[in-house]
Amino acid sequence: MAAAPYPDLIRAAGLRVTASRVAVLQVLVEADDHPRVDQVIERVRGAGVAISTQAAYDVCEALRRAALAQRIEIAGGPARYEARVGDNHHHLACRACGTVVDVDCAVGAAPCLEPSALQGFVVDQSEVTHWGLCSSCQQERREAIA
């Protein structure tokens, strides 16, 4: 998401500007780790903005509905949020530590991104999660074996 004043982005999305919305959006824009809601709360509070757990969930969902954030639900893990929206990117997820990183959408003829039978649906987005081990977890495993 391009750097723009957060209140302006919130207002342009049709939402009322509040301190908690500004703080949560800033956390999401600046994050590179797809934070869980508890991590969002910790960072917002660390910036000096008071926020309750319920308010954090409400703000994350309001930003999602306004297309300023995206909820990522990696199987077996808690919901995470990010401010990278609208580009149909995908994710790499580490099976060991839970790290989630962005990966740009495949270009050209990508297998399995179109359903074999649409069954009346009009597809507007595909979500792909690639699973494996991140470099840190691979190194830990190599060291444990050695």
36, 103, 28: which is closest to 72 by C-alpha? Answer: 36
The number of domains in the chain is 2
From 49, 65, 80, give the residue that closes a domain.
80
CB atoms under 10 Å from CB of 38, counted, come to 11
Structural domain containing residue 62? 6-80
What is the reported pLDDT for 2?
44
The first and second tokens of residue 40, run together, are 């969002």
Residues 59 and 18 in one domain: yes
**Rounded (10°) CA dihedral 122, 92, 84, 86:** -20
Average pLDDT in the chain: 88
* Residue 109 scores a pLDDT above 70: no
Residues 63 and 93 in one domain: no
Residue 105: which CATH number?
Answer: 3.30.1490.190
Residues 38 and 103 in one domain: no
Cβ atoms of 60 and 26 closer than 8 Å: no
* Residue 113 scores a pLDDT above 80: no
Q: Does residue 1 sit within a domain?
A: no
**Per-residue pLDDT tens for 34-79?**
999 999 999 999 999 999 999 999 999 999 999 999 999 988 889 9
Residues 137 and 104 in one domain: yes
Q: Does residue 111 sit within a domain?
A: yes
Residues 45 and 71 in one domain: yes
Residues 34 and 72 in one domain: yes
From 60, 80, 100, give the residue that closes a domain.
80
Q: Does residue 30 sit within a domain?
A: yes
Cβ atoms of 114 and 122 closer than 8 Å: no
What is the reported pLDDT for 1?
46
Rg (CA), the chain: 18
Residues 64 and 109 in one domain: no
d(CA 97, CA 87): 26
pTM: predicted TM-score of the whole model, two decimal places:
0.80
